[in-house]
């Protein structure tokens, strides 16, 4: 397969708040690319926070229905960052999943579901 994922859109209702949240979560400021878009480079994929109102688009804000998964080197440190970032909800602790992953689930301040997985335990179906 020649296709590769390079950008994922995360709908937000306040681009300034989104930039602050994800900067705290990722430890980097990202880059504002328009009035309503702020990019964070997550490996080879860009996480694009998108505020339709700030970009003067006619779309109505609605959070993603499914999780976005992030592989991280230090899951415990990522959990502490998530606790301090201002998640709408965060799972109680880090858990071992029946499929072999160590992870925790959370929702950003806009209701987008997120999951952080210890990169040494990724289940990829292979």
DSSP string, 21-57: HHHHHHTS--EEEETTEEEEEETTEEEEEE-TTTTT-
Q: What is the pLDDT of residues 72-96, one digit of tens each?
A: 999 999 999 999 999 999 999 999 9
Q: Does a structural domain hold residue 1?
A: no
Q: Does a structural domain hold residue 71?
A: yes
Tally of domains within the chain: 1
Question: Would you give the DSSP letter of residue 91?
Answer: -
Q: Does a structural domain hold residue 88?
A: yes
Q: Does a structural domain hold residue 126?
A: no
**CB-count exposure of residue 107 (10 Å: 0-12, 13-18, 19+):** middle
Q: Does a structural domain hold residue 14?
A: yes
Which of 52, 25, 35 is closest to 108 using CA atoms?
25
Q: Does a structural domain hold residue 2?
A: no
* pLDDT tens for the 126 residues of the chain, in order: 799 999 999 999 999 999 999 999 999 999 999 999 999 999 999 999 999 999 999 988 899 999 999 999 999 999 999 999 999 999 999 999 999 999 999 999 999 999 999 999 999 998
- Give the separation between CA 75 and CA 103, rounded to whole angstroms: 7
What are 39's two structure tokens? Answer: 């990019």
Q: Does a structural domain hold residue 84?
A: yes
pTM: 0.94
Q: Does a structural domain hold residue 70?
A: yes
What CATH number has the domain bearing residue 35?
3.10.180.10
Which of 89, 88, 91 is closest to 103 using CA atoms?
91
């Amino acid at each position: 397969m020649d296709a590769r994922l390079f950008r994922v859109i995360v709908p937000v209702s306040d681009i300034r708040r989104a930039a602050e949240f994800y900067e705290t979560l990722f430890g980097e400021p990202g880059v504002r690319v328009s009035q309503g878009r702020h990019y964070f480079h997550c490996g080879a994929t860009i996480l694009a926070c998108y505020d339709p109102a700030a970009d003067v688009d006619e779309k109505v804000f609605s959070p993603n229905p499914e999780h976005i998964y992030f592989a991280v080197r230090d899951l415990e440190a990522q959990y502490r960052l998530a606790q301090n970032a201002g998640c709408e909800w965060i799972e109680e602790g880090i858990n071992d999943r029946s499929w072999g992953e160590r992870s925790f689930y959370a929702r950003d301040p806009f209701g987008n579901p997120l999951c952080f997985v210890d990169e040494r335990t990724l289940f990829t179906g292979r």
